[in-house]
Chain A
């Protein structure tokens, strides 16, 4: 199973996908806020979203899973 992880600590500002969505490599799936900056997190591979374990306002650390792909 592939996962999309946070590349830095931050707060989830927006979740752009939901379970069942098809995502393409390079597509933004989550927007994090870190140090007053918006950091878009993109998928690194194509796939279908299995689950999104975070929600708007969740605090995530570096390496935490944001989106699971099937």
Chain B
């Protein structure tokens, strides 16, 4: 590959470009009108404007992106994360245009993108999934019998639902009897389909994911796990590699299950298998992300590998650079996502960045999408930068993180930096014993006013 078009923006476009440059590959950036002054556009070898600010008219405009690739002589397209990265239609059109998409095959993207198919595929491959009814339940009797089999507490969910609407937790058969008709009616009213299904409620889960990689020769490996339980609105805020809380045997079960999952779908490329881990450290498949993950740098720091480099090798048909036994985890790393948002209400804070100071030093990496003078527009994700800190132990990493977050300054807009700084004083986080409720507990304990 001589020229790669990066169909993304911000920090990830810059990060991908860095590895391309190290390999002597020419970089093509595509950008919307809102992004013309962003660093990722200026730093590219060629930059092509693809449309107005809204993503539907620019970064999701498949035809404009493929046209830009053809016009600039690109051999391959790197989709980054989000946007078109898990869009099977895009993957097919890239192939049809005679270009390489850096990622798995379109049919794999499709199969893992559908929750029901993904769950069925995993169950068949012997990967544990959250116990539940395979299809819908038609009446109260059936629901009660199924709940008995699954085990309380259960969730009743609208089959066609999403976003938390039409969901109800039931801890006893009585609660299930009361809730059943209500959820059915809600499902009908909101989604035009009264079908509901049952799933066991996993209480106080941890969100742990495993990095996998597979080449076209049939080699599949894992690069350990990441702990991603620090979340707000189901979006990750802090990630760690390795997880500070799971037992060594759980770590082994997770990585085994992840490799089995990747093999079951004939995966190629780098990918992530997400799991829920309950209080007894039982593990449940959640979903597979068929792309590079935002938090991939913590894995890079701990393993000493460049995952974008791995992606490019795999896309060129080369074997994986390392065998499983050659992949080692050394020390610890934590990533902090810097969001342009109010640290207390989590409401967005678009605006102009007047000044920005980023920390530097050994074991400190900043992947930023913006610089002083840039306007953070309301059109895209609020994440403007990532701070990644690595060191020999978790304790030294947290110590170094305190200093690095203190040094990190963004003027002109509100950011979650005060939250990240305060989190480093929260006992649950410091002790590494936390689950997905952590940020809620933190806010209840007084949040950043501690």
Contacts and interface: CB of A to CB of B under 8 A. Distances in A.
A37 B347 contact: yes
A34 B348 contact: yes
B380 A8 contact: no
B54 A35 contact: no
A53 B351 CA distance: 23
Size class of the A contact interface (CB-based, 8 Å):
10 to 19
Among A10, A35, A62: residue with most chain B CB under 10 A: A35
A33 B349 CA distance: 12
Contact of A37 (B54, B348, B351): B348
B60 to A, nearest CB: 13
B381 A9 contact: no
A32 to B, nearest CB: 8
A39 B349 CA distance: 12
A50 B305 CA distance: 62
Given A35-B341, A35-B380, A35-B381, A8 B54 contact: no
Contacts, number: 37
B350 A9 contact: yes
B378 interface: yes
A5 interface: no
Contacts of A35: 340-341, 348, 350, 378-382
A33 B53 CA distance: 13
A33 B350 CA distance: 12
A29 to B, nearest CB: 17
Interface in A1-57: 8-11, 33-37, 39
A8 B377 contact: no
Interface in B23-66: 54
Contacts of A36: 380-382
Interface of B: 54, 340-341, 347-351, 377-382
14 contacts: A8-B349, A10-B350, A10-B378, A11-B378, A11-B379, A33-B378, A34-B378, A35-B341, A35-B379, A35-B380, A36-B382, A37-B348, A39-B347, A62-B351
